[in-house]
Amino acid sequence: MKPLNADFRSDTVTRPTEGMLRAMCAANVGDDVLGDDPTVQRLEAVLAERFGMEAGLFCPSGTMTNQIAVKVHTRPGDELICSKLAHVYNYEGGGLAFNSGVQVRVGGDDYGRLSAAEAESLLQPMDNVHAAPTRLVVAENTSNKGGGTTLGLPALQELGAFTRTHGLGYHLDGARLFNALVADRERPEDYGRVFDSVSICLSKGLGAPVGSVLLGSKDFIHEARRIRKRLGGGMRQAGYLAAAGLYALEHHVDRLAEDHARAADLAAFMKDLPYVAELKPAPTNMVLFRLAPGHDGGPLLAHLEARGLRLIAMDRHWLRAVLHYDVGDAEVRELRDALAAWPG
């Protein structure tokens, strides 16, 4: 078997660049659990300022920032509304039930979009003691299972107006928000105005090895910090990791457009492959495709793996290729050749 040439499974697989490693090694650190790591504080402040929000909290993962946010927004027995494709609902190990004791009402389309009108139809009648009170709406931009779809600020603002009318919390899983900002030419501060809390991942397309930041009001983040401690998510000399995040924010945001262009080209090529039945549009850095009936993902993945290329199966029929800074034009060419050579 050929050694691995290119890993398209996720944008989480990137290794730190030399520049990033140098920034990490040079970081000025303290003990973040005791509240005196200057590099962590700078990362939290830089992101909070960029989004026009009061405070930030550095955490080990996007799962933790999402789970903490839900915990702060809700009480056990409450209900939240999100897309049927949402990461918090599908891929966080049942954390909503385990950590917060909430139940979930899902809706929306196959691209991760959920309109304000549909959210309204999912709202529980608050004066009915038989119903679990709706407390929170969670949006995800870009939508991972939706194929990297961007939801667009206007739709998110409309959903935000709905949450305010009904006194609900509004959380954004922005694991790949910078992809959306670049693709849709949007401004972070507009997101800060719409959402009560925002989770940003540094270890996806931005290319840091570890870390996510939760943004919100000072009071919200104070409570979030307590829950991070309870979950064991406090990290001591975390400034070495925060330095990677700061480096990524400075050097890796604009280049996301390159990943988007490569994803669009790859999707355009794949739509003519005889064994591809359906492709989600690829507006950011992901290409999700469904195999035609009679084709199974396993043999295709094995065919690629033998050529040193990796994709990931979302389920038996849907596969995913993700573009990121460790895969350039040469790797995409290799992938195209290998896909074209699969007999199906």
Ligand X SMILES: Cc1ncc(COP(=O)(O)O)c(C=O)c1O
Q: Give residues in contact with ligand X (CB under 6 A).
A: 61-63, 66, 87, 140, 144, 173, 175, 201, 203, 212
The pair phi, psi for residue 330, each rounded to 5°, is -65, -40
Distance of CA 124 to the CA centre of its chain: 27
Residue 300, sorted as left (phi over 0), alpha (psi -120 to 50) or beta, turns out to be alpha
What span, in angstroms and rounded, lies between the C-alpha atoms of 288 and 147?
A: 5
Q: How far is CA 58 from CA 92, 177, 212, 245, 283, in A?
A: 19, 16, 6, 10, 29
| Shortest distance in whole angstroms from residue 160 CB to ligand X | 19
Shortest Å, Cβ 23 to ligand X: 20
Shortest spacing between CB 1 and ligand X, in angstroms: 27
User: Residue 69 and residue 81: Cα distance in Å, rounded?
Assistant: 14
Give backbone dihedrals phi and psi of 318, rounded to 5 degrees, phi first. -95, 130
Smallest gap from residue 167 Cβ to ligand X (A): 26
CA dist., res. 89 & res. 138, Å (int): 10
Helix segments in the chain, DSSP class H: 18-25, 38-50, 62-73, 87-90, 95, 116-122, 153-165, 177-184, 188-194, 218-230, 239-251, 256-270, 297-305, 329-341
Q: 140 or 307: whose CB is closer to ligand X? A: 140
CA distance 242 to 58: 8
Cβ closest to ligand X, residue 8 vs residue 338: 8
C-beta closer to ligand X: residue 39 or 203: 203
Read off the amino acid at residue 272.
D
* All residues at 6 or more sequence positions from 36 whose CB lies less than 8 Å from its CB, including other chains: 30
Q: Which residue is nearest to ligand X (CB)?
A: 62
**Minimum separation from the CB atom of position 326 to ligand X (A):** 16
Nearer Cβ to ligand X, position 176 or 225?
176
Cβ-proximal residues to 153 (8 Å cutoff; 6+ apart), any chain: 184, 186, 190, 191, 194
CB 121 within 8 A of CB 163: no
Q: How far is the CB of 290 from ligand X (least distance, A)?
A: 19
Q: Which residues contact 131 (CB under 8 A, 6 or more apart)?
A: 79, 124, 125
Q: Report the nearest approach of ligand X to the CB of residue 14 (Å).
A: 13
Nearer to ligand X, 163 or 203 (CB): 203
Q: How far is the CB of 34 from ligand X (least distance, A)?
A: 24
CB of 173 to ligand X, least distance (A): 5
Which of 109, 334 has the CB closer to ligand X? Answer: 109
User: Considering beta carbons, is residue 14 or 63 the nearer one to ligand X?
Assistant: 63
For ligand X, which is the closer residue by CB, 199 or 307? 199
Cα 80 from Cα 119, distance rounded (Å): 10
- Answer left, alpha or beta for residue 290, where phi above 0 means left and psi between -120 and 50 means alpha: beta
Q: Output 123 or 173, the one with its CB closest to ligand X.
A: 173
